[in-house]
Structure 1
């Protein structure tokens, strides 16, 4: 029973890390990376479709992304979708390719992005702690129903705490890497 609770808590904690990773991918650094456009959706025959399903996104050089639509008539729609996204990017069409130069980051924007990364990391930590709280309350419920002993409860809570510590350390590691990435000139 405790192992089931622990497995469920670990599953929730992994989802928190994945969510944090997605949030970090949306925070752009000065370098071009295709995942920056993951949140962009394009109106494709009346359906909001992720950009990567209607075009290929590649890195041309360190500071430029290229988007190659699979259908030529989508060029203006894709360009409008990129401009409408809150990423602050200005695409430029040249022939059958859309080029997206990554703007230089100022010191001020870098600091704002670090603040955003820290806020996202805190959301991740809170989510992990919530998974711990839920698991511990399930263990306490088992104790109240006399399905486990107090020793089992203590052991279960210790295991959940170790799991929590491990995932929080992973959040810290991800945040440190993102901060270094953002502050690199």
Structure 2
């Protein structure tokens, strides 16, 4: 059984891009988005649960997020979790609904968020480079086992490198689009 698996390498590289998209979706851009609250966990029923398992999150207007808590006894913990999540949001308690007005971003905060987007992008690139290294190691192992020749290994290494370059370009374009959105340009 060869150690090299092109499909696995592609899947892992695409996973790094998807993970980056998820990380970037959580960054606030001054526009309301339900994904903004994805990282919020709430302490209810003696356990930590994701917010979307105790409430319905919606965006009724561009600068407002609405959180409809299903169980009235959980309104307090949900409100506390949103305040302490470090998102800079202050919920307005409206019975079983919490309204979250999205404040304007200051220029300084926009720059911080753009820098954070860059860090997420670099983390994804490191993951892709690690997958590339694993692929190259697997090719060398297979060559030593006699699965294929040196010429075939070099050809496949070229394929892995092309895949790496394409994935890195995807990461750059996703990151650049998010930074542009954050900076409002």
TM-score normalised by the chain length of structure 2: 0.95
Whether the 8 Å contact between 2:4 and 2:139 is mirrored in structure 1 is no
In the alignment, structure 1 residue 74 sits paired with structure 2 residue 74 = yes
Report what 2:43 is aligned to: 43
The CA deviation at 1:179 is: 0.9
Change (3 A) 1:2 1:162: farther
Report what 1:108 is aligned to: 108
CA RMSD of aligned residues (A): 1.5
Cα distance in 1 for partners of 2:130, 2:2 equals 17
Change (3 A) 1:155 1:181: same
CA deviations over 1:45-91 (Å, ceiling 9, x no partner): 01111000110000021111000011111111100010111212111
In the alignment, structure 1 residue 65 sits paired with structure 2 residue 65 = yes
Q: How does 1:6-45 map to 2 (within 5 A)?
A: 6-45=6-45
Cα distance in 2 for partners of 1:72, 1:159 equals 56
CA deviations over 1:66-120 (Å, ceiling 9, x no partner): 0001111111110001011121211110132100111210111101111110111
TM-score normalised by the chain length of structure 1: 0.95
Report what 1:128 is aligned to: 128
Report what 2:118 is aligned to: 118
The CA deviation at 1:4 is: 5.1
Runs (4 or more) in structure 1 with deviation over 6 Å come to none
The CA deviation at 1:3 is: 9.5
The CA deviation at 1:165 is: 1.1
Report what 1:97 is aligned to: 97
Cα distance in 2 for partners of 1:156, 1:82 equals 49
Structure 1: gaps spanning 5 or more residues: none
SS across alignment from 1:14:
helix
Cα distance in 2 for partners of 1:41, 1:108 equals 27
Aligned residues: 185
SS across alignment from 1:58:
strand
